[in-house]
Structure 1
Amino acid sequence: MDTEKYIPVLHLCDLYQIEISFFKELNEEGLIELVSRQNSMYVHEDKLYKVERIIRIYRELNVNIEGIDVVLNLLEKVDKLQNEVNSMQSRLRLYEDDH
């Protein structure tokens, strides 16, 4: 494993002032993937945005782990719908420009 692309969970715990058990619960619920190497746990740097989003939901909205999963699914659906709206608006503009 190339540890350059992974962030130690203990570093994230210090950075965000959060217990390691929180990350373990997220992993158990399938919300994030922890990689274990040499008695340490890591998160891939590509997943840092999702980790930060989860922490904000947890702290700012006081949402429990199960609720975080629901919120993330809803946000994903909103993003998908927004992309569809943007695509439709672009197609509509093309149609309107032709007429």
Structure 2
Amino acid sequence: MDTTHLISIQQFCTHYKVPEAFIDALYEYDLVQITITDNDNFLQTNQLNDVEKMIRLHYDLHINLEGIDAIYNLLKQVEYLQLENRTLKNKLNSYEDF
């Protein structure tokens, strides 16, 4: 399998000095996706920014996993609403041109 867009969880955890159990817990809360290839676990590189934020929330701000789950669900809702708002504004602007 092509692993160019994947990073080993072990390598990631070593670099960020976090236990692999933390990533496993994020996976249990469906906050990250884990790809298993050749008996090794990987994160997708497009998830790295979100995982870094979750690390800071958990270790710097002492927010538990339930809190991180709630925060990320709310952030997803905000992003969706912002996209919907932008789409509606564009539609409205197209009607104002007539």
Give the TM-score band, short-chain normalised.
0.7 to 0.9
Q: CA deviation at 1:25?
A: 1.1
CA–CA distance in structure 2, aligned partners of residues 9 and 62 of structure 1: 22
Q: CA deviation at 1:12?
A: 1.2
Residue 89 (structure 1) aligned with residue 86 (structure 2): no
When the two chains are superposed, the root-mean-square deviation of aligned CA atoms in Å is 2.0
| Deviation sequence 1:39-80 (CA, Å, 0-9, x none) | 532112233233233224334543211111111111111011
Aligned to 1:44: 44
CA–CA distance in structure 2, aligned partners of residues 11 and 59 of structure 1: 19
> What pairs up with 1:15-34 in 2 under 5 angstroms?
15-34=15-34
Aligned to 2:58: 58
Q: List alignment gaps of at least 5 residues for structure 2.
A: none
Percent of residue pairs bearing the same amino acid type: 34
Aligned to 2:35: 35
Q: Which stretches of structure 1, 4 residues or more, deviate above 4 A after TM superposition? A: none
Q: CA deviation at 1:27?
A: 1.7
Q: CA deviation at 1:16?
A: 2.1
- The aligned amino acid for 2:32 is I
Question: Counterpart of 1:3 in 2: which secondary structure?
Answer: coil
Question: Normalised by the size of structure 2, how large is the TM-score?
Answer: 0.79
Question: Normalised by the size of structure 1, how large is the TM-score?
Answer: 0.78
Q: List alignment gaps of at least 5 residues for structure 1.
A: none
